[in-house]
Structure formats: structure tokens, C-alpha cells
Structure 1
Amino acid sequence: MPAPDRTDARKPVRRRDVLARARATLDAFEHLAGGLGTTILALVALLLVTATALACLVGVGLLLVPAALRGLRAVADRERARLSRWGPEITGPEPVPTGLRAALADPATRRELGWVVTHATLGLLLSLIGLTLPISAVTNTTFPLWWRLLPPEEAATSAMGLWTVRDLPGALGVSLLGLGWLVLAVLLTPGMARLQAWPGRRLLPADPGGDLALRVAQLTATRAAALDAHAAELRRIERSLHDGTQNRIVAVTIMLGAARRALARDPAGADAVLERAQSAAEEALAELRAVVRSILPPVLTDRSLADALTGLAATCPIPCRIDADIPVRCAASVEATAYFVAAEALTNITRHSNARHAVVKVHRGADRLHLQITDDGHGGADERGGSGLVGIRRRTEAHDGTFMLNSPAGGPTTLTVSLPCGS
């Protein structure tokens, strides 16, 4: 029996490997480009700290110490934010020391000084090398296309002085050198990006004790937000039952009593009263069902969050498009929170934004559920305006999620919510 041909099976694997390597190289190039900005800031901060230290030798630098420490912390926080976008979040210490003696005694400040020195030297060198490799690769690879446009003396030195280019074969040799630069970029750039980020991940995180205290404070705040959201939800349900359903049931009771008394005197009039009582009972039942659905929409249990949002968009007074990519169900509490965030956001859009169109995007990435609601209204949404945005923030933070609102004057308005939903 002939052996199976494994060539076709290897091709997809090799293709995936090539794509993964290319993606890693592009990500590393992006990291080094972003790191170049913080290396320049670190160099400025290092010069400021050095000038302040020299000025302290003659006494006048003591007045500059607070400004230098704030500048150092600002640059370090910029690097923390950059590294947090590409990996685990890095939290900074609080507060900034105010004097020279406090700064020298603060371990976090000493680590930030060490990071500034490393990042302003080694980090700057790695960024320059990492950005030069692909530029050299592109320049040398395309050299045969434009070398004739250069003056003879410039064309002769375009191969980094390795040889003199006088004809097309020499230019093709330069293009081969460009391929070598490309191979070096693919091989070295990911490692250089990791090496550049290593001092920041090693030196910039806060002390474990401070990080734990910050986490406890965050959990305390989210617990209070959860209790407030729960109390607000109970008040909303109580108002809905008291002001709507209860009043209609009382009206049904009064109408039934009037119909009972009218049976002996005016049977025809009693029939009309009974008909009104039946209509009031049906309205009360409809309101009661609406209250029950507002507690937890049955479609979330019977079907999915995408179906629930589709039904929500169908009842929205303005055109609303749902873009959902949720291959796996999340916890019921997370889906309910996402549903109510979308419902409250669409209600705000309908009432306050004068929008003509809205889009709700929801997708699950890794261990988080991301929800984004965008409208083309006049913008200017503010949490302090009493439009329900505070309730959305509290619901989100109660699940240890993140809430972000971008609503410039003139629009558009984008509300972004991210909720943890497990792995």
C-alpha cells in the first residue's frame, strides 16, 4: 500500500508558520516604533533629572526637585500605559514624592530612575536598529529600480560601501543585500522588542503590597457600585409596579364593583363597565409582563444575547444595526448587564441625541465581552447630565468591567463597555 502523501498536509502548516512569523515581526516593529517615542521622553527626563542633580550641588536645584520628580513619573506612566496595551496591565505607585529625601528613600522612584537610564540608552539603540533594518531592507531591495536616477558617486556608495555599483548586475547584488537585511529584521526584531520592554516590565510595576492595596480599593468601590446598582434596580421595579401595574389593578377592582352594582339596575351598562374592566386588566397584565422582562429578558435564557439585542433593535424608534460575534455563551449576569447597557444606551440615543442611525457591536475576545454603541447624533453626552450614563457605569463597574464614553460636540457618540466573562 503506498504511503500517504504528506506534502499537502505540510503546506497549510508552513503557511500558518509564515503568517505567524510575519505577524510577530510587524507587531515587534510597531512596538519598537512606539518605544521610540517613550525613549525620547525618557532621554528628556534623564537630562532633566541630571540637570536637577547638578543644580542641587549648589543648592538651587532643590526647588526643581518636585518638577523633575513629576516629569519622571509622567514619563514612566506613559511607558506603563504603552506596555499595558501589549500585555498585562502595569499599575504605577502613588503618590509622587515631593522632596529629595523622600525621593531617595522611595523604592519606586529609584526603580523609575533605573528604567529611565536603561530606556534612554539601550531602549533608544534598539528602536533605532529595529527601525533601520526594515528601511534598509526596502531601500536595498528596490535599489535596481531607481539606482540610475542617482549621481554616480551616490550610486557607488549605496551598497554601504561594500562595492561600487556601475551596472545592473551590481544593482541586483544590492537587492540581494536587501533580502539579507529583511531576513535579519524577521529574525531579530521580535527579540529586540522583548528586550526593549523587559526593563519596563521589570522595574515599573508597583510594589506587591501597593498593588494589593489598590486592588482592595478597587474591589471596595465596585462592591459599593454593585450595591447601589442593585438598590436602584429595586427602586425602578418598585416604581414600575406601584405607578403602573398597581394602579391599573385598582382600577379593575373599582370597575368590577361598579359592574356588580349595575347588574340589578342596568344590565346593558354593566356590560360596558365589564368591557372596560377587561381592557384595564389586559393592560395591567401587559405592564406586568414588561416589568418581568425588564428584570431578566426571557430571550436571554431561551436563545442568546445576539437574539436579545436584535429584538431590542427591532423595537428601537431609530434604525439600529446589530453586529454580534459571540461564538460562546457568557455567564447569565454578564449577558444581562450587556443587554441592559445596550437598552439604556439606545434609550438615551432616542431621547437626547437626535440621531438618525445607531450601531451596536458586541464581540467576545479572549476572556472579555466587548460592547460598543455608536450613534450619529449631536454628541455632547455627559454623565452629569442625568441621562442614565451613571447607571451604566455602575452596572459595568459592579462586574469589574471598564466604561468609556467619547462624545465630542457635534458627534458622533461612542460608548464602549468591556466586561470580564471568564475563559
Structure 2
Amino acid sequence: MATEYGQRYGRGHDRPAGTGHRLPAALRAPFEARTLREFGHVLLSLPVSIVLFTWAVAMVPLGAGLLVTFLGIPVLAVALAGCRGFGVLERARARALLGVDVADPEPLRTAKPGALAWMGAVLKSGSSWRHLLYAVVQFPWAVFAFSVAVSFWTVGWSLLSYPLWFWVFPAYAGTGGVQLYGDAHHSVYLDNPFEIAVTCLVGLLFTLATPWLVRALTTVDGLLVRGLLGPSRLSARVVELESDRGVVVDAAAADLRRIERDLHDGAQARLVGLAMDLGLAKEKLREDPQAAARMVDEAHGEVKTALQELRDLARGIHPAVLTDRGLDAALSAVASRCTVPVRVEVDLPARPVPAIEGIAYFTVSELLQNISKHSRARSASVDVWRAEDRLMLQVIDDGVGGADVSRGSGLAGLAGRLDAVDGVLVVDSPAGGPTRVIAELPWRTTA
């Protein structure tokens, strides 16, 4: 779950949408394509909801009444399947006209093929019953929204254009204009210039208010589509957890491959060479003791190098200082190895669980490595603190900037690892710097 810093914390650098228009939003709203699409959605909702409601109230009671016989089950399953089919249409309509992109609900899960298994899956699916609820709820709302939107739309444009067509009344109806009031004694017509201007002004107010009213009505439509026709929160959470599990498995496999490669190319290769050198030294021990001594001395240096590589590898798996002394000492040790001066400040009331602590450590470690390799910074800082139920990490450098999660760099992999534990990576790195990276992790402590 990676996102731009400005989008999440309200400090974006992009110009707000709409500032390039000369007319204010209130004046151009009646002529915008979005308004026309939303009004079209309201107009279409009525016939679609009538068909859907008729299907639901005809088929579902029929199937329920036939449950005393076996025929009730297939009829009820077909009724719910039809509601799910209408759901596909409604999601496509909301996506095209409202810009509301709702994912498909969870698919039907059948233990085995066959009509009976399919009917059982339809009847047991919570999504099917939510589609039925949508069919029942959408109809009265569509009638209300259609009536309000069409009334405001026609009244607004009719009154706004009244100066263009009021002449019809004196020419063909024998009256001065639209009759505002009338009884047996007197009548009031909108026929003089002042009344015509006021009528036009009232129409302008209706016309300007209608797009926002239609937008409010379609917002409710969007909520209905999201809440009843999309995946449930439980199924969405299951999909997210499955995706996160895949990320964790892939990350663990990549770490194992890295460890195997480091062992094979590093310490293992040195130890193999060391064994060969000691074997040669053993053969030369009697013939040329001085040469054997030099070879043993070289082997001793190789042993030290191999031990250092093994220590570095062990530190990369899980540093002992993190286990023994916590994040403050471990991050200070990482900062001391950075190529630029790093200020470290850790303010935690307690130690989080080892899993979260380890992720926090490796997150800061990788960010500092990026600073050393790519940022060309002169200084950096690391801050760690707790904010309610979140562990917050902030790494800032004064380098050249330009870091981008979307480019598939190491930041993208880091964001995936954080997302696997419900964490967030936020990057603000404009060209020219500075770069600010904030990572959030769930706060959990050991009992």
C-alpha cells in the first residue's frame, strides 16, 4: 500500500483541480459532462429499477411459495441469479456514468460441479441476498431521485429560458404570460419586464442548484452500489490477506535465495579455498616449513575475512543488537555505517513485538542504504515514535530527491512488505529534494 506523501497528508504539490478554469465551479456545473452523465444515470435508474424490482417481487415470492415442493429451490436460485446478473449491469452503469469502480463480488464456490451444487452456492452466498436487497431498496429511491431531478431540471431551464418563449401566451393563449395566481375576482400573470426578469433569476437559481442536487442523489446511488453489489468486507479482507500472504512468501523465498547466494559466493567459497590452502600447507610442512608458515598465515587472514562475512550475513538475517538492546541501539548501529551523518531519535514507551521490531529495523536499514547509494545527501535523520496504535518511522535526507515507489525500485518491494502486515509507506521526494519517507506499522507489544 504505497501512496504519495501529499495525497495522504494533504501536502501535495499539484495545483488543485479546476484552478485553470475561468468560470467558477458553480457557474459551469450545469454544462459539465459529469453533470450530464449523472443526470443520465438518474434517468436510467427508473426503468432499470422497475425491471429489477418486478423481477425480484415476482420470482422470489414465487420461489418461497414453492418451497413446499422441490420446485421452490431452483426458482429461488434463478431469482437470485437474475439479481446478480442485474448487479453486473448496475456496476457497469455506475462505472461508466458515475466513475464509481466497484469490484465484482466474490464468485460462487461450488464443492463439485452440477446444478444442485450451483443452486446451493447461489442460495448460500451472502452476495446473492445483498443483490436482492438492492433490488428492493433501489426501486423507491430511483422513483424519488427521478422525480426530484427531473422536476428541478425542467423547472430550472423552463424559467431560465422564459424570456425566450413567454410571447407564446399573448400570441396564442390570449393571456399575458404564465398564470401565477387566479380566482374568480382577479388573476396574476408573469407578463411585465420586472416579473419576467425575476422569473429568469429564479430559473437561474434552480439551474445552478440542480447539478449539485443530482450529484447528491447519485452519491447515494454510489453508496448503494458499493455497499450491496460489491464484495463484502469479509471477502475483501480475505482477498487482501491472501495477497499479503503471497507477498510474504515471495519475500521469504527471496531472502532465502539471497542467503544461499551470499553463503555460496562468499563464506563458502572462502572456506573451500581455505581448506585447499591448508591441505597444500600440510604437504609442504616437512619439505619447506617457511612456505608452509606463509600459507598458514594467509589462511589465517582468510579465516578472519570469512568470519566477518558470516557476521555480516547474520546481521542481515537478524542482528543480535536488535534482540538484546532494541531499536534505539540497532538503528544507531545502522546509522553509523551510513556514508552520510545520520541523527537517530527513538522515543518508544516499550518495545514492540519482535516481528514488528524486525520489520521496522530492516525498513530503516534499507532506506539508509538507499541514501548511501543514490541520494547524494549531506545529512539524514531517523525518527521513531508511537502514535496511538501505530509505530511511526520517518527518514529524511537533503539529497537530490526523485524517489518514486511506482518505478518498481526497492521502495516498491519495501511498500509490499509493509502492506503485508497492514503497514503503509508514504514517500515525498520532489526533484531537487529533500526526500521524506514515512512508514507506519501496527503497534503491538508482548504480553
Tell me the equivalent position of 1:218: 240
Matched residue SS, 2:232: helix
Matched, 1:347 2:377: no
1:235 corresponds in structure 2 to 257
Using the alignment, how far apart are the partners of 2:97 and 2:345 within structure 1? Answer: 43
1:316-359 deviations in Å (ceiling 9; x for gaps): 11111112211111110111111111111111111112111222
CA distance in 2, matches of 1:67, 1:387: 37
Q: Which residue of 1 aligns with 2:379?
A: 357
Contact 2:415 2:425 in 1 (8 A): yes
Partner of 1:374: 396
Task: Go from structure 1 to structure 2 and tell me whether the alpha carbon gap of 1:222 and 1:54 turns closer, same or farther (over 3 Å shift).
Answer: closer
User: Is the alpha carbon distance of 1:313 and 1:110 closer, same or farther for their aligned partners in structure 2, counting shifts above 3 Å?
Assistant: farther
Residue in 2 aligned with 1:261?
283
* Corresponding letter in the other structure for 1:206: G
Matched ranges for 1:13-412 at <5 A: 51-52=39-40, 93-94=102-103, 106=134, 206-207=227-228, 210-383=232-405, 387-412=409-434
CA distance in 2, matches of 1:104, 1:297: 56
- What TM-score does the superposition give when structure 2 sets the normalisation length? 0.52
Q: Could you say if the C-alpha distance between residues 316 and 355 of structure 1 is closer, same or farther in structure 2, counting changes exceeding 3 Å?
A: same
Q: Is the 8 A contact 1:93 1:108 kept in 2?
A: no
Q: CA RMSD in A?
A: 4.1
What amino acid is the match of 1:234? Answer: L
- Contact 1:399-1:420 within 8 A present in 2 as well: yes
Which TM-score applies when normalising by structure 1?
Answer: 0.55
**Distance (whole Å) between structure 2 residues aligned to residue 293 and residue 108 of structure 1:** 61
Describe the shift of the 1:398–1:58 C-alpha distance in structure 2 as closer, same or farther (beyond 3 A).
Answer: closer
Unaligned runs of 5+ in 2: 1-25, 48-90, 106-130, 146-219
How far does residue 388 in structure 1 lie from its aligned partner after superposition?
2.0
Q: Secondary structure at the match of 1:206?
A: helix
1:285–1:50: structure 2 CA closer, same or farther, 3 Å change rule? closer
| 1:275 shift after superposition | 0.6
Preserved CA contact (<8 Å) 1:48 1:68: no
Asked which structure has the greater RCO (Cα within 8 Å, sep 6+), the reply is 2
How far 1:411 sits from its partner (Å)? 2.0
Which stretch shifts more, 253-262 or 208-217?
208-217
Q: Per the alignment, do residues 311 and 67 of structure 1 end up closer, same or farther by CA in structure 2, a change over 3 Å counting?
A: same
Partner amino acid, structure 2, of 1:309: L
Residue 368 of structure 1 aligns with an amino acid whose one-letter code is: R
Contact 2:38 2:97 in 1 (8 A): no
Percent identity between the two aligned chains: 39
Contact 1:49-1:68 within 8 A present in 2 as well: no
Name the CA shift for 1:57/1:224 in 2 (closer, same or farther; >3 Å): closer
What 5-or-longer segments of structure 1 have no aligned partner?
Answer: 1-39, 60-64, 75-91, 97-102, 118-198
Which position in structure 1 is the counterpart of 2:210?
Answer: none
> How far apart, CA to CA, are the structure 2 residues paired with 1:358 and 1:236?
28
State the one-letter code of the partner of 1:341. Answer: T
> SS of the counterpart of 1:404?
strand
Give the 4+ runs in structure 1 shifted more than 6 A: 43-50, 53-59, 65-71, 202-205
Given that 1:245 and 1:287 are in contact with CA atoms closer than 8 Å, whether structure 2 keeps it comes out as yes
3-state SS of paired residue (2:382): strand
Give the partner amino acid of 1:367.
Answer: D
> Based on CA coordinates, which of the two structures has the bigger radius of gyration?
2
User: How many Å separate the matches in 1 of 2:41 and 2:337?
Assistant: 66
Distance 2:321 2:389 in 1: 23
Q: How many residues align?
A: 270
Using the alignment, how far apart are the partners of 2:41 and 2:364 within structure 1? 54
Evaluate the alpha carbon distance shift between residue 307 and residue 57 of structure 1 in structure 2; reply closer, same or farther with a 3 A threshold. closer
